[in-house]
Structure 1
Amino acid sequence: MPDCSENYESEISEGKNLRNVKCKYCTSVILTPSTACFTSFEFQLPLIKQSKISELNPETENVSLFWAVSDMFTFQNVGFSNTVGDNKYLSCADCEAGPIGYHDIPSKISYVALSRVHHC
């Protein structure tokens, strides 16, 4: 396993990601250094692992630290779900783990949750 940081303050340099942002499950690169801006706000993101009972009403968690990406072509390996309300959920394009964040359709900005990825 690579040396990956969970100390988020050390991952921000001049408001951008200092190192590669990788999938926690397969370590595919999602974002290269200095390609995303740090932002903080609260959002209810569905859990990566859902119980069978929660299919119609997915369980969520409150996430508040994100990498913001204004151009979807900035991503290295990200898949976009079908539209759910005003959003599309993001997943790793290689192993399909997710959601690791979401794409806000009205603003055209994608948000990757820092807690759902590794920084290596």
Structure 2
Amino acid sequence: MSELPPLNQDTIGSILSEELDDCTVNQLVWYYLGYRYHECSNTWDNSLVAEDWKREYPEPPDFIANRPPVVKLTRSIPPQGKQLLKEQLGFKGYKIGEFGPRQTRRATMANWLLSYLHQNNPHV
């Protein structure tokens, strides 16, 4: 895995504006879910991953290409984190006709990461 950008509001904004590529966005979510890749053995270590994720996804899922893991990610955002993109970043969503499943999934991933950041550093 390549070196990841720091988890901050600028990085999350870069996800929404599509400045970060899909692979990096997936890798960010994988990292904060607890997945670790060992390049020497070309294997994934999921020992830090929550049991419900580990059971369903022993290896990290591609959130951009697949709907089921994004649904699970959405459901894992606590209620107080659901509006953080709007409240903290002023994100108004996408206009009808200007987005598809890929953008919606990226927004969900950005929201999950912002919620994670807020839970682990409430002063952000």
Note whether the superposition's TM-score is higher than 0.5: no
TM-score (norm 2): 0.27
More helix per residue: 1 or 2?
A: 2
More strand per residue: 1 or 2?
A: 1
The structure whose Rg is larger is 2
